[in-house]
Structure formats: C-alpha cells, structure tokens
Amino acid sequence: MRDMRTTFFRADLLILSATLSILGLLLCPASATAEPQAPDPGEQSTAELEQELRSFAEKKLGRLMLRDDRLQQVARWLAGDHRPTKVDRGEVRDRLWRKGVVDFEFSPLRIRFRTDSEPQLAAVAALEGLLTDPALRAHRHNAMALAVERKEQTLTVGVLLLRRVVRLSGSGFLNGAEGPVHMSLSGSYRAPRLFVTKAEGEVLSFEGSATDKHGNWTLKIPDRKFPGTSLWELVADGSAGPEVLALWRRNHRRAGPTTPRRPARQAPPPTDTTSRPLARNPYLGRGGGSQTQSGTSAGPNPSQLSSEAGAWAAGAHRDPNRAPRPNDVRLAEQQLWGLIQATRKSRNLLPLRASEALSRAARQHASDLGRGERFGHHTSSGNAISRLEQQGLAALRLRENVAMAANVAEAHAALMASPAHRANLLDPEVSSGGVGVVLKRDARGRWSALVSQLFAELLADGPGEQWQEAILNRINGRRRAMGLATIKSREKLDELALRTSEEILRSGSLRLSASQRREIAQDARFHYLNVRRVGVDLIITSDPSKVDKVTHVTHEEFMELGIGIRRLRQPMGEHSAGSLVITLVFIER
C-alpha cells in the first residue's frame, strides 16, 4: 500500500493552474506597465510588425517573455500554415517534440485577416482580444514566440505561448540511451516523479533524488528498454499540489526523427440533431455516446437527449445558449462515470463500486474550483484525505484526478492521455469511486466542465474483520519488504486491543498512560504463556498508512499481534469525526 497520489489536468488548453514561481520571468519596469499604444498604421515589413506585436504583447502581459529559437520556428510554421482549419494542438505538440521542446503547458494561437485596411490595428486588436481571454490564462506563460507571414492580401500572425519551469538534460532524457535524467526545477517545486506509459499501456513510475538545495534533481532510469513508442511525463509537487511539468515521447524501434502527425481533417458542419466531438476521443462511439468494447452504452446516450442537453456530454459544435441546470450536472456525472467504467472494463479490470460519499467529496472539490478558487488539489475544504474525513470515511488507498475541459468527454480523453492520471484511473487496487462535475458558462457563452474524480480502497463502515485484515496486510507487507517473517493475529490480543480503543472513546484521552500500558501487558501475559515482551501502540488518524511509522512493526522478535479499531463519533482534539482509533498489541514469546 502506498501513499495517496493525486494529479490534476486541464484538457482544453492543457493548463494546470497554480500560482508558482516562474523560471526566468522578468518584471517590466514601472514605466513599461502603462497601457500599451497601438503601432502607427502604414506600410511596414513583417519583421517590424513582429517586433511591434511582441512589444505590445509583453506590455499587455506586464513582463518580458523568454525567447527560444525552437519556439520561433514553430510559430513561423503556424503563421505559414494557410489551411482553413483551426490550430491542431496535437500537430503543434508533435512539432515541439521534434524540436526537443517538452514543456507541458503551451497555447498555440493564429490570427488571420486581410491587409487592405489598417492591418497593424487589426492585428493589435485581435492579439489583445486573445491575451485578455480568461480561458487562455496568458499570465501563466513565461515564454513567447511570434511570427508574421503575408500571402497576397492576407496577413497571418502565429503566436506560441509556453510555460517553462523545468530544464531537463542527461542521457536518459530524449536520445533513447539508458542513463540518468537531470532536472532543474524552478521556484517551490519539489519531489519530481517520472511516469512512463509503455507501448502496451502499462504505466511505470520512478522517483527523483535531490542533488543540492537549489532545485537540482537526478532521476535514474533502471537498465531496461521500452520497445515501441513510450510516453514520458514529469510530475512535481507545487504549492497547489502535484503538477505536470513536462511531457514527451521516446521511440526505441527506429532512429531519426519521428513521423510527423497527420494534420486534422476538416469535418462537415454538424446538424441540429447531431453532435461532433470537440476533440478526437477514442472513448466516444460514432454516435457520440461512450461505448464499451461490446458496443453497449456505458452512460446516457446523447443521441437520445435533445441536442441542447447533449452538448456538454459528447461535445457539440455550438454550446447551449442558456445557463447550466441541475439536470445537466447529473447527466454529466453519469456520462463521466460510464466512461470510467467502460475504460476499466476494456483493460480487464473489475468495475468500481459507486460510492455516494466519495461523490460528495468529489463534488465539494469541484464546487470549490467552480467558485474561482485556485485550480489544484488543495482548496478551502482541504485536500482529498480531509474531504474524505468530512464524509466519515477512511481509505487504505486514495487517488484523485482533477480536470477542466469543454466537456466531460474531452476531460476523460485528456486524463487517459496523461501517464500519471491514467495510472490513477486504471489502478487495479482501488475498488470504489466517485465523481463530481461543475458546469460553467463564461461571458462569451462557452461552456466548460470542472471534473473531480476519487478512486479508493475504503475501509468498512463500522467494526469488522475487514478493518483488522487491512491493517494486518499493511503491516506484513512492510515486514516482507524488509525480509522479516510475517506476524500472526491472535484472537485474545484482538479483544484486548479492541477494549483499549473503546476505552479511549469513552475517556476522551488522546494517549495511553503508563499504568494503562502495564495493565495491557498483564492481560496479555494472563492469556499467553512465556510472554517475554509486550509492545503497545495507539494511533488516531484518518490515514491508515500511518501504521508504517510504528517502530514495533519492524522488530523481528514480535511475531504475534492484536488489532483493535474504532472510529471517532465526534471530533477529539485535532482529530475530526470519522478518524480511526487503532490500538496495536505486540507480544514476543
């Protein structure tokens, strides 16, 4: 059993919100933060227009932006791409990868207009509209490339915004060689972890180690090959919880540059009665509904709903021209839950048991974010563990995903495309789950879905054998990892430990006195012959993994154990209602 792992994701712009220090970001002097003025109209070269637009953007953002020749080449391609289609983020990501750019968070923009009247003013107005769009969150980026291309009477501006907070190097990074990955993290980031999705779908994880106190870390990759194309994702803890910092792929079958991604094909416009997915989603059927491998519906079928109600579920070309309603949220949660269950079934995993308490905790998280709190795992209601405590639950294993997208289908597809989030959703050791969705409509009429997912292995609600078995399995798992013999549970010791936990509830005390410990030792010796030593531990916690810190667990001489567990019915000191009162009685004979 392992500690809780949580990750969050934004699907439409791939933006992970957190107020964190930004690598290389320079503040403009006070005089440079005044309201920018548009360039004078008139004829000018594309190079001059590029510089004026960049200066305008930096003044609008209030800071200088990092420059990178590789980004400039991609921005030049954006400006020179004259296809009448929207920017394909996947194609941009592919070009960035081929340039060796793996920063996770980026925003490609393209502006196109005619040059027959005031092109400079038109470019400035369009750029200002993009930079001030709240959905873009331009303040998150610290690097920018901008290029201008003219073709006949059309002028195209390509803009690439990017957030760079980690620098990667080492033989284990991009070139496919086995070896270490060196990382230089910006600001308060710490504890980097690498998640690798192998070609067959298995996810592996590796942890980094600090090399100094200045944000430098090294991550050693075991001497193994990853045949085929594998996806690598770097996650680190920031002030708002775990955050994805970099994403890249490696191919071990062939040398040379990877095959460029095919450009997106322009689809026919949707009709009033059908919906077209906003993103290419392998978890949606041809009719727009989610499907299992057998083709049966795994959630509400949007084709059976009105086109208005189906917009958030499957992704529609036009969002409903109204505010979200409670029934929309209910159907969105059903759709998301169906996608999760269908995906797990397709991997031959057991279906999750729906937990209303987990769903309430997930809805609380989504509601916090929907009210405008900082996007992440830590909100005004606490973290995932504390939100679970408030529902009177405790878990041996807890996973949390959070996403923001145009609809729940896009959120699910993006989470499955991320190795860390995919590992949470496909965790074979969780048995229960719950989801919460908040639907929003911004001032421009665009809908979005805030999604929180919780996956857990819950302890039973009330005393029973599952409680003791779960703790005993965790203790013996730790002993086996240390090469120690497993410890055996004894009925009389269980009864003694249970009486002690019940006495703690009656007395309201948070600790065992010396006289209580002596009395427990005497009772243990009364029931068992030749007892040489007795160890007693009391733990009050909402996190059962805290038993890992009990030193008696690692004593080779202790071979028998009693476990007594009760739950707090009301807050006690710093412990909330629902916390576990665990008494452990060890004996050596």
Which CATH number covers residue 211?
Answer: 2.60.40.10
Per-residue pLDDT tens digits for 555-568: 999 999 999 988 77
Nearest to 198 by CA among 261, 251, 257, 255: 251
Domain end among 193, 225, 252: 252
Same domain, residue pair 361 and 383: yes
List, as own/partner pairs, every contact residues 22-25 make where C-beta atoms lie below 8 angstroms and the sequence separation is at least 24, other chains included. Answer: 22/142, 22/163, 22/164, 22/165, 22/186, 22/187, 23/142, 23/164, 23/165, 23/166, 23/167, 23/186, 23/187, 24/66, 24/142, 24/143, 24/164, 24/186, 25/63, 25/64, 25/66, 25/142
In a domain, 6, yes or no: no
Domain for residue 20, yes or no? Answer: no
Task: Please give the model's pTM, rounded to 2 decimal places.
Answer: 0.58
In a domain, 287, yes or no: no
Q: Tokens in use for 335? A: 């759709």
453/503 same-domain check: no
Number of domains in the chain: 4
144 and 180 co-located in one domain: no
pLDDT class of 414 with cuts at 50, 70, 90: confident
Residue 388 counted as domain residue? yes
Q: Same domain for 69 and 176?
A: no
Which residues on neighbouring strands pair with residue 581, listed in sequence order? 540, 566
* pLDDT one-digit tens code per residue, 331-389: 999 999 999 999 998 887 888 989 999 999 999 999 998 888 888 888 888 888 889 88
- The token pair at 424 is 């949470």
Of 379, 409, 378, 442, nearest to 136 by C-alpha is 442
CATH number at residue 57: 3.40.33
| Residues 329 and 453 placed together within one structural domain of the fold | yes
269 occurs within a structural domain: no
Give 573's pLDDT tier (boundaries 50, 70, 90): confident
**Average of per-residue pLDDT across 200-229:** 80
Candidate ranges 66-80, 262-276, 280-294, 560-574; pick with highest mean pLDDT: 66-80
- How far apart CA 167 and CA 171 sit, in angstroms, is 14
φ/ψ region of 40 (left if φ > 0, alpha if ψ in -120 to 50, else beta) reads beta
d(CA 149, CA 45): 10
CATH number of the domain to which 528 belongs: 3.40.33.10
| 174 within a domain of the structure (yes/no) | yes
Domain encompassing residue 453: 319-458
Q: Looking at the structure, do residues 131 and 183 belong to the same domain, yes or no?
A: no
The DSSP call for residue 545 is G
Domain annotation covers residue 308: no
Virtual CA dihedral for 507, 512, 513, 516, nearest 10 degrees?
Answer: 80
Query: Residue 542 has which token pair?
Result: 């909402």
Give, rounded to a whole angstrom, the gap between the first and last alpha carbons of the chain. Answer: 29
Q: What is the mean pLDDT of residues 476-491?
A: 91
